[in-house]
Amino acid sequence: MSIPVTPRRTEPLLLPRLRELFPDVTFDTIERNDLEPPFTEATLADSMQGMSTPISQYVRLRLGVRCMKEDHTGDWDKAARLWASIAREIIRLGTVAPLIDASLESGPVRMTDENKRLVCAYGVLLLEVSVA
């Protein structure tokens, strides 16, 4: 017989603390199209994976950071530095219950929008979270 579990979304666990630590960044779970330049935006999106133990689950957390300058071009250096800072904080928070562990899987990778003007930093962190 298996243990009944309910997957736990990780964005609501992380977003309040990240918003507090990075007050100049707009955090969300989907890219916004209503921001006026200059802006800095970070997007978190979790993807629930298989169970790591009977009471914990792996989660792939996608992190994207977009930085747009006043002239509507992207700032890769700023996005990459900020991505690394946010990823470092998520890894640090990865041991605070109900999170069990967090590690870097990939990133930051340089990505561009369809117009090749806005460069963003993208990567994935692997989390382990206890299930309810």
Is 61 among the domain residues? yes
Is 99 among the domain residues? yes
62 with 45: CB under 8 angstroms? yes
Is 7 among the domain residues? no
Q: Is the pLDDT reported for residue 27 higher than 80?
A: yes
Greater pLDDT, 84 or 32: 84
Q: Which domain holds residue 32?
A: 24-105
Is 57 among the domain residues? yes
Greater pLDDT, 114 or 82: 82
Grade residue 2 by pLDDT with cuts at 50, 70 and 90. Answer: low
Grade residue 116 by pLDDT with cuts at 50, 70 and 90. Answer: low
Q: Is the pLDDT reported for residue 100 higher than 80?
A: yes
Average pLDDT value over all residues in the chain: 91
The reported pLDDT for the residue numbered 72 is 84
Q: Is the pLDDT reported for residue 5 higher than 90?
A: no
Strands 56-68 and 39-53, bridge-based pairing: antiparallel
Which SS3 state, helix, strand or coil, does residue 120 take? strand
Is 45 among the domain residues? yes
42 with 121: CB under 8 angstroms? no
Is 30 among the domain residues? yes
Over the stretch 42-96, which tens digit does the pLDDT of each residue have?
999 999 998 999 889 999 999 999 999 999 888 999 999 999 999 999 999 999 9
Describe the crossing of helices 11-21 and 76-93 by its angle, rounded to 10 degrees.
120
Cβ contacts of 52 within 8 Å, gap of 6 or more: 58, 128
Structural tokens at position 38? 């200059």
